[in-house]
Chains A and B, each alone.
Chain A
Amino acid sequence: MTNLIEIKGVTHAYKTDNGPLPVLDNLNISVPEGDFCAVVGPSGCGKSTLTKLVAGLMRPDQGEVWLHGQRVTSPRSTVGMAFQNPVMLEWRTILQNVLLPLEIVPNKMSKKQKEDRARELLALVGLEGFEDKRPSELSGGMRQRASLCRAIVHKPDVLIMDEPFGALDAFTREDLWQTMHRLREEEPFTGVLITHDLRESVYLADEVIVLSGRPATTQHVENVKLGGRTDLEVIYTPEATEILHRLRHQIEIAQGRAKDEEAA
């Protein structure tokens, strides 16, 4: 199987006044086409840097990032992004916000086709009837739904999400998890989800990568097999609980609070 995203030996450091601050150290991640990969780790371990590298917004000091068999050296329109802050353009309607990528990425769609596509996506995430509203009239959860539509409206190969549900309340978050599953059924894409919510990672991802504390390196890879179930109850099955348990333990190791198996 070919890997759509291939991160090979990436090392990166930020320049600060107190000398270089290493954030990523020989990081290796590969995500097969169509898979959904969650990246978890202690806060400040360089997860957001990872999204910028995959999006081509930054180049690593060492190592390579490959997308679709091509080395990433600059931003590419085959990537869609969603952030914790849904950054809606307040002066545009929801529909116009979703249309934004289609105004920038070269395409052969007519105005009508673009609008139909955007409306279709908005309906899919449950925002039918809100197309002509301004972002300020929407709740946080609704804005994040619209931001997801914007991230995939141009049919990117890769969807990168940086803690997209982090600022939402618990129930809204669960709603959006289910929306994500619905979107994946209708719009196949390869996803990278940066999160600090272990339940979220287990519910949404095919594989969960645990990063070590800063500078981050791949500490643990967990394959999530829950039999393709997408109902919320699946989080409370023994299989899921067992995975959560293992991930929790790995996080503690990453935080330096627990010793590795042998020592324990």
Chain B
Amino acid sequence: MKHWKKVATPTIAIVIFLALWEFIVWVNQWPNYKMASPSDLIPAYTKYWNLFLIYGWQTLWRTVVGLLVAVVFGTLIGMIMGFSRTMRDALYPLLVGFNAIPKATVVPVIALILIGHHDLNTVLIAFMISFFPISVAVSIGLSTLEPEYRDILRSLGASKWTIFWKIALPKTLPEFFGALKVAVTLAFIGTNLMEIVEPHGKGLGHLFDSGKINADYPLMFAVLIALAFLGILLYYIVVGLEKIFAGWAERPQG
């Protein structure tokens, strides 16, 4: 019963959303170049289903690779800043400054520098846009470790590595997963920015762009919904991982 409810609640919410969308378009008599309705999307999917599969896969894997790089690099930077006050003071302004640059302005630059390297430049942008929250979360998690935790292990003669592995790392996991959820959506933004800007590109962003060029508005909306679907998919994969590795942080309710 409980399991059934867990799936049913969000499904019903989505159905209501689609119905409302359909209704508003119908009431206002909007043509599909102004606002496509959900029923306009079905022909777009059936007509281009093979393109959706191919481009969807390209978008997904490049986003995931960008995220993985962001996790590795972000965790490393976070560790450096979490363990050393000096490094934290040194790196924070740089990181904040870097993060403050709108990535939409970086995309054409990277696209030019790495012209032709479609996969590399897309992964690079996905990574650049998503590593910041991970670094901040890891560094805060590590630097706010209560000294007693360290003392308990140090008094037993544990090495720095043991302290990191047994205490600092697991204790930081809830913060890490919180940041990863933000990073997932950011990485999608990065991938798509590059896919849309790049000429002769790949991925759903490119499909969106060709929809625009051919004035195929239902296709453009269909791409947006496909992106939303991929985003939800990846988000719930992260939620699943969080349950496995940091499920302890969830307090029993009630």
B166 touches A75 (CB 8 A): no
Is A138 interfacial (CB-CB < 8 Å)? no
CB distance from A90 to the nearest CB of B (A): 6
Inter-subunit contact A87/B149 (CB<8 Å) = yes
List of B residues within 8 angstroms of A105 by Cβ: 156-157
Contact: B148 with A56, CB < 8 Å?
no
Is A104 a contact partner of B157 (Cβ separation < 8 A)? yes
Instruction: Give Cα A77–Cα B158 distance, bound, in whole angstroms.
Output: 9
Q: Which of B148, B155, B248 contacts A90 (CB 8 A)?
A: B248
A90 with B157: CB separation less than 8 A: no
Contact with A along B136-162 (1 / 0, CB 8 A): 000000000010110111111110001
A89 contacts across to B, CB distance below 8 A: 149, 166-167, 170-171
Contact count band on B: 20 to 34
The answer to whether A90 and B249 touch (CB under 8 A), given A75-B155, A105-B157, is: yes
Are B152 and A81 neighbours in the complex by a CB distance under 8 Å? yes
B155 to chain A, nearest CB (A): 4
Q: Is A104 within 8 A of B162, CB to CB?
A: yes
* Given contact pairs A56-B155, A79-B155, A91-B171, a sample of 17 additional A-B residue pairs in the complex whose CB atoms are under 8 Å apart: A55-B155, A57-B155, A75-B156, A77-B156, A81-B151, A87-B146, A87-B149, A87-B152, A89-B149, A90-B249, A91-B170, A91-B249, A103-B166, A104-B158, A136-B248, A150-B152, A154-B156
Q: For residue B151, which residues in chain A have a CB less than 8 angstroms away from its CB?
A: 52, 55, 57, 81, 83
Query: Could you give, for residues 114-145 of chain A, a 1 whenever the CB lies within 8 Å of some chain B CB and a 0 otherwise?
Result: 00000000000000000000101100000000
Determine if A75 and B246 form an interchain contact, defined as CB atoms under 8 angstroms apart. no
- Within the complex, the shortest CB–CB distance from B6 to chain A, in Å, comes to 23
**The residue from A74, A87, A91, A101 contacting B148, defined by CB atoms under 8 A apart:** A87
* Complex interface bits, A150-162 against B, C-beta within 8 A gives 1, otherwise 0: 1000100000000
A231 to B248, CA, bound (A): 39
Q: How far apart are B171's CB and chain A's nearest CB, in angstroms?
A: 7
- Bits for B65-89, please: 1 = Cβ < 8 Å to A, else 0: 0000000000000000000000000
- In angstroms, Cα B170 to Cα A89, docked, is 9
Once bound together, how far apart are the Cα atoms of A101 and B152, in whole Å?
Answer: 9
Q: Is the interface of B mostly helix, strand, loop or mixed?
A: helix
CB of B34 closer than 8 Å to a CB of A: no
Given the complex of chains A and B, what is the CA–CA distance between A81 and B147 in angstroms?
13
A81 touches B155 (CB 8 A): yes
Tell me, in angstroms, the Cα distance from A87 to B173 when the chains sit together: 17
| Bound complex: CA A87 to CA B170 (Å) | 14
Residues on the A chain within 8 Å of B154, using CB: 57, 75
Docked CA distance A100–B151 (Å): 13
Task: Give the residues in chain A near B162, CB-CB below 8 Å.
Answer: 104
In the assembled complex, the CB of B247 is this many whole angstroms from the nearest CB of chain A, namely 9
Instruction: State whether the Cβ of B252 lies closer than 8 Å to any Cβ in chain A.
Output: yes
- Give the residue name and chain of the B residue nearest to A82 (CB): B152
17 A-B residue contacts at CB 8 Å? A56-B155, A57-B154, A74-B157, A76-B157, A83-B148, A85-B148, A89-B167, A89-B170, A89-B171, A91-B171, A91-B246, A91-B249, A100-B152, A104-B157, A105-B156, A136-B251, A154-B156
